[in-house]
Amino acid sequence: MTGPAASPGGKTALVTGAATGIGKAIAAELATAGARVVINHPHTPELAAKVVADIDTDGGTALAIAADVSSKEEYRAMVDRLLAQYGRWDILVNNAAVAITKPFPQITGADFDRSFAVNVKGVFHGAFSRLGRPAEIAAVVAFLATDAAGWVTAQNIRANGGTV
């Protein structure tokens, strides 16, 4: 897969949970490839500002927007701001997640509710809710056949445009 269709250059990407860890790395990689990147963070402006500064220093374009992805209202406000800033939204990376790392008997109802709210509702709020077109499905298959997908093994890829 080569050419403009294979590059995120000129597109706008929203990466949830992008102030740290995997989300930060994804945001940096998309920016390096030429995408304008929105760094979503759960109200951690210092961390998000550092990611934006690093991307800017490397010649990329980024904007930090605080939003709790489990809140439909905050998610919509984030998207409205993204569209006001860049005029388009092409890429969604649902990276935000809550991991419960304590022994099962110690998990509270509040722990579970928070995890469900971010890990499931957050994805739901960002879903495009449309079926993939044949060319989009073919592009996923073509990507999976490249060396860039070498670490993707034994997966059931739901290439469906974000239906949940």
CA distance 120 to 69: 10
Q: What is the pTM of this model?
A: 0.79
- Closest among 123, 63, 62 to 96, alpha carbons compared: 123
Q: Write the pLDDT tens digit of every residue in 81-109.
A: 999 999 998 889 999 999 999 999 999 99
> Is 164 a residue whose pLDDT tops 50?
no
Torsion, Cα of 129, 135, 141, 145 (10° steps): -140
On whether the CB atoms of residues 46 and 69 are closer than 8 A, the answer is no
Superfamily classification of domain 4-98+111-149? NAD(P)-binding Rossmann-like Domain (3.40.50.720)
